[in-house]
Chain A
Amino acid sequence: MPVNVEIPVEKWPGSVRQVTLGATAAEGGTRQHTVAVGGANTLPFLGFEGTLPHRPQIAIEVRSSNPGEEWPEPLSSAWGDVLDDPAAWAKAAEAAGAELILLRLTSTDNTGASMTAAKARKVLRGVLGATGLPLIVLGPGQAELDNELLVAVAEEGVGERLVLGYCEDKNYRTIVAAALAHHHLVISRTPMDVNLAKQLTILIHDMGLPLERIVMDPTTGALGYGMEYGYSVMERLRLAALQGDIMTQQPMIVTPGEEAWRTKEARAGEGVPGAWGDWAQRAVNWEALTAAALVESGADIIVLRHPETVARVKRMITELMAA
């Protein structure tokens, strides 16, 4: 006897806010094209019940100085000489399939000298010249230096609709002011908590920055190192967004590359159990599986490090977006 199965479809009242990164010449910048994220009115990839106007985008991390020992061999060897030159690196990242470039300004340059505002401007110029992709620019992660460098970068890149980060609970005003003054976007980063994420969005918005210029980073844990906390916070944020809570509707940026490549599983080639398997494969799997889980839980921008991971995660997203 034929059985009638009614597919359960959720009609969500809310949707993820659409945010556009970068600006073309016509829009006052120099990017070849802009990149839009967000806009979905259903859970990730459930095309049968809603629309997903933009696929999640892959950013590759490029640094202003060579990461040296900080990056294990399977990662640094994938890039080779370009690690010494952020412009060449950005070009290589674009060739490797990046849809966005994340430029991380480090506290020292390749000679070991301190990073300065003037040097940061120069690095930014170089990277803008080397790639036509929209840019995300991060400071070294020390509040004072972040502010100094990001203010300079904001001014130097005026009109480019850069994404500046990180705005955090204790340090966001200067970065938001710089974004306001020079027409950029910001990343609002909070430590794995729905309410903190919401609160910082509100504080940034209260300074006058439109919600269309805020991307939120709910903080990522690597696979095996707290990944599930970030995963569930993301699911809760996305559900809240779809239920219509407007301060949770910002697109989400996650950093599985950074987190996964800090783990022992990615870093250790010797003196580890045989059950861990081949180092290079395991390391890339660690990054790719961390990213995959976050793609499923609602990431809109995924920041990766290894070109092989980029290829895999892009392929996964293409498959997930297939009608």
Chain B
Amino acid sequence: MALSGLEIYKLLPRTNCKECGYPTCLAFAMKLAAKQAKLSLCPTVSEESKARLSAAATPPIRLITLAADGRKLEVGNETVLFRHEKTFFHPVGLLVRVPDTLSAAEITALAKAVADYKVDYVGMALTLDGLAVDAVSGDADKFAAAVAAVRGVCTMPLVLLTEDPTVMAAGLAKTAGVTPLLYAATAANWEELARLAKSAKAPLAVRADTLAGLAELTDKLTGAGVEDLVLDPALRAFNGSLATLTQLRRLALKKNFRPVGYPIITFPYLGEADPAMEGLLAAQQIAKYAGMVVLGRFDPATVYPLLVLRANIYTDPQKPIQVEPGIYPINKPGPDTPVLVTTNFSITYFAVANEMESSGLPAWLLVADAEGMSVLTAWAAGKFDAEKIAKTVKGTGIAEKVGHRKVVIPGHVAVLLGELEEELPGWQIKVGPREAVDLPRYLKTAW
């Protein structure tokens, strides 16, 4: 459990020697609590304090890594229940299930499609994170062949789904180059799977249908030397999944209950057979506390919104997404199309872009680098002044794309009109509405 500044202070020498670069031990303790300084800066801290501070710094939810050639999936290490309290750190891994009962051609096609899937969202490339090969056949050779087929066409992180140690060993033998997650150890097979996980140095998922059952199993496994664990509380439907995942997160964070201090894997397709409902259950699990979600099928029309949802939920609330400054063409603009200017705060951009998109009217939207602030905030902070707007108009080269010389500024910065006319000689500055919602009407009447 993270310590407060005062608790840390009590463990420091309290000599105010300034060797760490801070004026007092208390100031240093506050910096440590805020994770803005490292304990190693203190030359005189006792070994005992060091041990206590490092134990306190052990994350309440262990970071688990699924490694593959050149890429990896890291989940866990979360510190809050609600994103506004700080942020969620390691985006939920989204994986797609590959049943080993598909034909070799189907397996390679699916694996390739998942591996190649990429979609752009406000300048970020969103991708899926891995494949979960499912030993539906129960046959070691068939499973091994499926894993080999997947490995043959992609370099994504893998999960191997089987409770049979023999089948698991056969699949594992084909995973050279990746560290897969082995799913799953249960009360019945944990000793054999622990052996496999240890020899492969692979993380191991644990399944039990009660929290006590999970805690018992993780105790046994850590006792046997397997420390990289992932939990499956096995309650599949909306209600049970939300309740257990919430309880697990609370136990880990608020009670510092180590036996469940691991990321959670979910299988929404086992809770909802209907593909449309599976998407909603996956959405719930992205928002509420899954570390990895295995999708039962690959459908771009569902995967795209799920990836965007994940990006939204895992956006740091203190650092809102900024859009890339530049020219954004809306609805196929041409040389006569209006030129609008706004700031690069994502919500501001979305408000304007969305109004324009849905109005059907074309526009050239110029996004100024206002350090991610909204129009009024940026103006007040001097980040969206006449000079910045002029720089945006000139720097984006919009003059080469349009025949006219007119630019619309947000109504909130009407006060910049005179100054901007001086900064942009030859341009007619037009004052638009204050709110994006009024833009289409404004353009129809006043452009």
| Chain A residues within 8 Å of B, Cβ to Cβ | 1-8, 43, 45-48, 69-70, 141, 221-229, 231-232, 235-236, 239, 262-265, 267, 273-279, 281-282, 284-286, 288-289, 292-293, 296-297, 308, 312-313, 315-316, 319-323
A281 contacts which of B211, B246, B301, B313 (Cβ < 8 Å)?
B301
Task: Give the nearest-CB partner of B345 in chain A.
Answer: A226
- Whether B212 sits at the interface, judged by CB under 8 Å, is yes
Within 8 A of A (CB), among B254-313: 254-255, 257, 259-260, 276-277, 279-281, 283-284, 287-288, 299-306, 308-309, 311-313
- Whether B101 sits at the interface, judged by CB under 8 Å, is no
Contact check, B280 vs A292: say whether CB atoms are below 8 A apart: yes
Determine the distance from Cα of A232 to Cα of B313 in the docked complex, in whole angstroms.
Answer: 9
Contact check, A282 vs B305: say whether CB atoms are below 8 A apart: yes
B301 contacts which of A141, A285, A313 (Cβ < 8 Å)?
A285
Contact check, B254 vs A275: say whether CB atoms are below 8 A apart: no
Within 8 A of A (CB), among B126-149: none
Contact check, B305 vs A223: say whether CB atoms are below 8 A apart: yes
- Whether B89 sits at the interface, judged by CB under 8 Å, is no
Contact check, B350 vs A321: say whether CB atoms are below 8 A apart: no
- Whether B396 sits at the interface, judged by CB under 8 Å, is no
B306 contacts which of A225, A289, A322 (Cβ < 8 Å)?
A289
Contact check, B84 vs A289: say whether CB atoms are below 8 A apart: no
The interface residues of chain A lying within 8 Å CB-to-CB of B355 are 262
The interface residues of chain A lying within 8 Å CB-to-CB of B122 are 224
The interface residues of chain A lying within 8 Å CB-to-CB of B259 are 3, 5
B238 contacts which of A222, A267, A320 (Cβ < 8 Å)?
A320
Contact check, B304 vs A275: say whether CB atoms are below 8 A apart: yes
Contact check, A221 vs B302: say whether CB atoms are below 8 A apart: no
State the majority secondary structure of interface residues on B: helix
B368 to nearest A CB, angstroms? 19
- With A8-B254, A285-B279 as given contacts, are A277 and B219 in contact (CB-CB < 8 Å)? no
B216 contacts which of A1, A8, A236 (Cβ < 8 Å)?
A1
B271 to nearest A CB, angstroms? 9
- With A232-B83, A267-B357 as given contacts, are A3 and B216 in contact (CB-CB < 8 Å)? yes
Q: What is the number of residues of chain B that contact chain A, defined by CB distance less than 8 Å?
A: 63
- With A3-B212, A282-B301 as given contacts, are A312 and B280 in contact (CB-CB < 8 Å)? yes
- Whether B406 sits at the interface, judged by CB under 8 Å, is no
State the majority secondary structure of interface residues on A: helix
Contact check, A316 vs B121: say whether CB atoms are below 8 A apart: no
- Whether B247 sits at the interface, judged by CB under 8 Å, is yes
15 contacts between A and B (CB under 8 A): A225-B354, A226-B347, A227-B309, A228-B83, A228-B315, A232-B83, A277-B300, A278-B300, A286-B305, A289-B279, A292-B283, A293-B312, A312-B276, A316-B277, A319-B239
The interface residues of chain B lying within 8 Å CB-to-CB of A223 are 305, 308-309, 312
| Chain B residues within 8 Å of A, Cβ to Cβ | 82-84, 117-122, 211-212, 215-216, 219, 237-239, 242-243, 246-247, 250-251, 254-255, 257, 259-260, 276-277, 279-281, 283-284, 287-288, 299-306, 308-309, 311-313, 315, 317, 320, 346-347, 350-351, 354-355, 357-358, 360, 437
The interface residues of chain A lying within 8 Å CB-to-CB of B250 are 8
Determine the distance from Cα of A288 to Cα of B211 in the docked complex, in whole angstroms.
Answer: 31
Contact check, A273 vs B317: say whether CB atoms are below 8 A apart: no
Task: Give the nearest-CB partner of A45 in chain B.
Answer: B242
- With A289-B279, A289-B305 as given contacts, are A46 and B246 in contact (CB-CB < 8 Å)? yes
The interface residues of chain A lying within 8 Å CB-to-CB of B287 are 231, 293, 296-297
Task: Give the nearest-CB partner of A285 in chain B.
Answer: B305
Determine the distance from Cα of A3 to Cα of B360 in the docked complex, in whole angstroms.
Answer: 62
Contact check, B280 vs A235: say whether CB atoms are below 8 A apart: no
A275 contacts which of B117, B276, B312 (Cβ < 8 Å)?
B117
A48 contacts which of B212, B238, B243, B284 (Cβ < 8 Å)?
B243
Task: Give the nearest-CB partner of B122 in chain A.
Answer: A224
Closest 4 CB pairs of A and B: A277-B301, A277-B300, A319-B238, A281-B301
The interface residues of chain B lying within 8 Å CB-to-CB of A282 are 300-301, 304-305
Determine the distance from Cα of A8 to Cα of B283 in the docked complex, in whole angstroms.
Answer: 24
The interface residues of chain A lying within 8 Å CB-to-CB of B303 are 277
- With A277-B302, A282-B301 as given contacts, are A288 and B215 in contact (CB-CB < 8 Å)? no
Task: Give the nearest-CB partner of A43 in chain B.
Answer: B246
- With A232-B83, A281-B301 as given contacts, are A288 and B119 in contact (CB-CB < 8 Å)? no
Interface centre among B117, B119, B212, B358 (most CB of A within 10 A): B358
Contact check, A289 vs B82: say whether CB atoms are below 8 A apart: no
A177 to nearest B CB, angstroms? 25
Contact check, B239 vs A229: say whether CB atoms are below 8 A apart: no
The interface residues of chain A lying within 8 Å CB-to-CB of B254 are 8
Determine the distance from Cα of A285 to Cα of B295 in the docked complex, in whole angstroms.
Answer: 15
